[in-house]
Amino acid sequence: MPLMAMFFDRRMMRVPDVGQFFRIRLRLHYGWAIAFFLITAVVVTQFAEAYPLWLRTVLGIAAVLLFFAALGVREVILNFLALSRGIPDKRVTLFVFGGVSQIAEEETTPVIELLLAMAGLLCNLIITGILYGIYSILVSTGSTMLAGLILWSAFLYFMLSLFHFIPAFPLDGGRLLRALLWKLTGSYNRATSITSWAGQGVGLFLIAAGVVILILENQWFNGLALAFVGWVLHIAAMQSRRPVVLRRVLRGIKARDVVARDCPVISRQLNLGRLVQNYIQATGQCYFIVARRARLQGVVTLPNIKRVPKKRRRSTTISEIMTPASELRAAQAEQPAARLLEQMNEWQIDYMPVLEKDRVIGIVVRDDLMRLIKTRTEVRK
């Protein structure tokens, strides 16, 4: 697959949803699978060998969960602050160093970005202090094993706090720098590009440093851990820069310009047997708009149809299986194509009806947008 297609293809970047807090969808980056192993391994090797292996493994898993919970608390606080400042519902991808929000330029300001960056740095220090406070209490009560676990977790989070001061996006230091650059230059896209490139550069440096430590110092664990952190930062910075590149490539393109007007429009009274015979088998279409006098009533897709047994299709109408318009995501004709693709990626959908003055004029197909991006990129080379 060409690099540009990989850069924009959400199917290469899918991460599982783990919940929704304060109307914010939280997703877990797959790097956590590696982090789970690394943190557990550190605890197993660092704790006194007087503890049996199974107990050290349990402590390692507990350390991962504690670290994850601390990051989760941080993101809930930050996103609660964002919502209180008027930033609408959004998606947050949780990396091992913290969350990366999907916020469009029109949804925020340099001042809000500055405040959130400073709040993130402060949250890190407060959480570290709380962990050290818990450690002190456990030491005074004689809970040596739990105190050791909390102390190690506090040290790990303290190192994370220092890491966030690096001026590389999407770290808090990079977010702070982006807000300042945005304020000075007046360009959100330029500020995001500069700080995201810095994030990718720092990530590559950490990867190289990890490889050097691994080869020259023969410190396999430290080298792998450092390279892993660099790799995660590089991926996060690249994903953060993606909307900026997308807007540049699709500048001036509206939803009406990329709409597919040949999508079949069907009646809700049509039965599935006729739909399959006259449309699906004849044209290969798998997405259908249900409308009356150009007013969107719903959509029907192949998965909707496949849920109905073949023997019942003649007696089942479209209205019984369609997804109603009230549950659909729809685009407006004048909506920028770049923003439209961001939303399709966010909602993980491949088709979206396009409305003009409440009348459906066709659909946007995600693959068509991807081809347009590839073509416009090739022409600019």
pLDDT tens figures, 69-85: 999 889 888 888 887 87
pLDDT tier, 90 (very low <50, low <70, confident <90, very high otherwise):
low
CA pair distance 172, 161, nearest whole angstrom: 9
Indicate the domain borders of the chain.
3-249, 255-380
Residue 238 has pLDDT above 60, yes or no: yes
For residues 314 and 272, the answer to whether their CB atoms sit within 8 Å is yes
**Of 215, 261, 236, residue with least CA distance to 362:** 261
Residue 187 has pLDDT above 60, yes or no: yes
Q: Which range has highest mean pLDDT (153-167, 233-247, 251-265)?
A: 153-167
Q: Provide the pLDDT for residue 381.
A: 64
Percent of the chain with pLDDT over 70: 90
pTM of the model: 0.76
H or E segment to which residue 141 belongs: helix 110-141
Count CB neighbours of 193 within 10 A. 19
Residue 63 has pLDDT above 80, yes or no: yes
Q: Provide the pLDDT for residue 261.
A: 74
For residues 28 and 96, the answer to whether their CB atoms sit within 8 Å is no
Tokens 């693959």 locate to 367
Q: Provide the pLDDT for residue 3.
A: 40
CA distances from 112 to 88, 103, 115, 367 (A): 13, 12, 5, 35
pLDDT tier, 196 (very low <50, low <70, confident <90, very high otherwise):
very high
Q: Provide the pLDDT for residue 10.
A: 43
Count CB neighbours of 299 within 10 A. 26
CA pair distance 58, 43, nearest whole angstrom: 9
Tokens describing residue 297: 């009533």
For residues 365 and 380, the answer to whether their CB atoms sit within 8 Å is no
Spatial CB neighbours of 356, under 8 Å, sequence gap ≥ 6: 256, 332, 333
Tokens 């998606």 locate to 91
Residue 202 has pLDDT above 80, yes or no: yes
Q: Provide the pLDDT for residue 287.
A: 87
Residue 377 has pLDDT above 90, yes or no: no
Q: Mind listing the pLDDT tens digit for each residue in 18-59?
A: 445 455 667 788 888 888 988 888 888 877 677 888 888 898
Q: Is 277 exposed, middle or buried (0-12, 13-18, 19+ CB in 10 A)?
A: exposed
Higher pLDDT, 221 or 14: 221
Query: Nearest 5°: CA angle at 144, between 131 and 137?
Result: 40
Q: Provide the pLDDT for residue 24.
A: 61
CA distances from 96 to 64, 231, 233 (A): 10, 11, 9
Phi-psi region of 191 (alpha: psi -120 to 50; beta: other; left: phi over 0): alpha
pLDDT tier, 16 (very low <50, low <70, confident <90, very high otherwise):
very low
For residues 24 and 90, the answer to whether their CB atoms sit within 8 Å is yes
Q: Provide the pLDDT for residue 5.
A: 42
CATH value of 255-380 in 3.30.365.10, 3.10.310.70, 3.40.50.300, 3.10.580.10:
3.10.580.10
Q: Provide the pLDDT for residue 12.
A: 38
